[in-house]
Structure 1
Amino acid sequence: MSEENFICRNQSCGTPWEQSEVVIKNEGQGPLFRCPLCGARNYLEVFEGDDGKPVYEQVDGKPFL
């Protein structure tokens, strides 16, 4: 099973990351990861996978809460 690749949305960064390379957390605005290189917030949506584990999908911009 391949891991989902995320890309830093900071226009001057754009570094690709695998899920195992980032820390996914909630800072009060839903799930996100901070780019390990530039520190930019990158927002995610979480879904339940077939096995019951969370599956993360990157979203453009800030999610509407």
Structure 2
Amino acid sequence: MSETESFVCRNQSCGTPWEQSEVVIKNEGQGPLFRCPLCGARNYLEQFEDDEGNVVYEQVDGKPFL
């Protein structure tokens, strides 16, 4: 069973914590991200596969290097 990932909005004036189930992860052309449901800020993620082949996301600081 995989752990529940939690993310934190990187917008300095927001900083709201979110569970993965509370955000929509999508790709807007710069890799996977979620927009903060409260302030709309982009929060970038890296996509990985766990040992069982499930897709998991890890939050990264700033924009990812493509």
Q: Sort the TM-score into its range (normalised by shorter chain).
A: over 0.9
1:14-53 alignment, distance < 5 Å: 14-53=15-54
SS at match of 1:20: helix
15-24 vs 46-55, which moves further: 46-55
Which aligned segments of 4 or more residues in structure 1 are displaced greater than 4 angstroms?
none
- Aligned CA RMSD, in angstroms, stands at 0.8
Residues matched between the structures, number: 65
TM-score by length of 2: 0.94
The letter of the residue matching 1:46 is Q
TM-score by length of 1: 0.95
Q: Percent of pairs identical after alignment? A: 85
Q: Which consecutive residues of structure 2, in runs of 5 or more, have no partner in the other structure?
A: none
The CA distance in 2 between the partners of 1:6 and 1:53, in whole Å, is 18
The CA distance in 2 between the partners of 1:44 and 1:6, in whole Å, is 9
